[in-house]
Amino acid sequence: MTARIHPTAIVDPKAELHETVEVGPYSIIGPGVTIGADTWIGPHVVLRGPMTIGRGNKIFQFASLGEISQDMTAKPDDPTRVEIGDGNTIREYVTIQRGTMKEQDGLTKVGDRNWIMAAVHIGHDCIVGSHNILANNTSLAGHVLLGDYVGCGGYTLIHQYCQIGNHVFTGGGSVITRDVLPFIMVQGHPAEARGINAEGLRRRGFAAEDVAAIKDAYKLIFLSGQTLDKVKQELAQTASVSTHVAYMLAFINGSKRALQR
């Protein structure tokens, strides 16, 4: 059995498609593209290699994945690539671009089971985790690190080199220029912290005592008026008994662009 390829599609002989892959009309798949089992490629999709796409993905019409970065230093023959995991839904007009030589591995990566809505842009060298929902026109500039279970409202804009922690929610139209602490909600232009993502945590089965610890940490960080050094000292005491607070403290210590505070 061979992959189900529409006769108007163009698939390079050097592309590797699992026999269960389906390719729609007028799609173009270039050399160096590898696609895993049960992935569906709609019509008018363009896939450029080097790129690996995992199992069970759905890629809708007019998506452009694996194209050369918009970074002006990028060259077509740079040894950079895209990796996309399993079970992602990638809707119309989504762009996911290759990494650059500015990063050691030249990789742009998307994890598993992400819901990526229309016209989302994932720029060069971004690392996107799993189980995220990126609403229409969300845009990630280069080198963004996006965690797991993040929800981005429509038209969220994330500045280059920002880190977004796990379980974050961004309100529609948010402009993010700094790192966003795990478990919180931000909104605005520029974005500001609005509280913890209590509803998201509830939906994911967080215990009441864990939510309480996260909320106390949020109050200390954002509402106490203390210096960040003092905040970190107090967080360190709670971190010994709460893995979630420990994660928040580690995130603060690893932040390179300062917090969206």
C-beta neighbour count of 41 within 10 angstroms: 30
Options 99, 106, 142, 154, the catalytic residue: 142
Q: Active site includes 77?
A: no
Options 112, 125, 148, 179, the catalytic residue: 125
* DSSP secondary structure letters along 184-249: EEEEETTEEEEEE-HHHHHHTT--HHHHHHHHHHHIIIIIS---HHHHHHHHHHHHTT-HHHHHHH
Q: Which element (helix H / strand E) includes 251? A: helix 243-254
**Is the torsion defined by CA of 221, 218, 245, 139 positive or negative?**
negative
Q: Amino acid identity of 92?
A: E
Q: Active site includes 125?
A: yes
CA 57 to chain centre: 15
The CA distance from 100 to 80, in Å, is 6
Q: Which two tokens stand for residue 58?
A: 């759905």
Q: Active site includes 124?
A: yes
Under 8 Å between Cβ of 193 and 185: yes
Options 44, 124, 167, 244, the catalytic residue: 124
Q: Which two tokens stand for residue 16?
A: 């590797």
CA 177 to chain centre: 16
CA distances from 125 to 85, 102, 161, 244, 250 (A): 16, 9, 9, 27, 22
Provide the annotated active-site residues.
124-125, 142
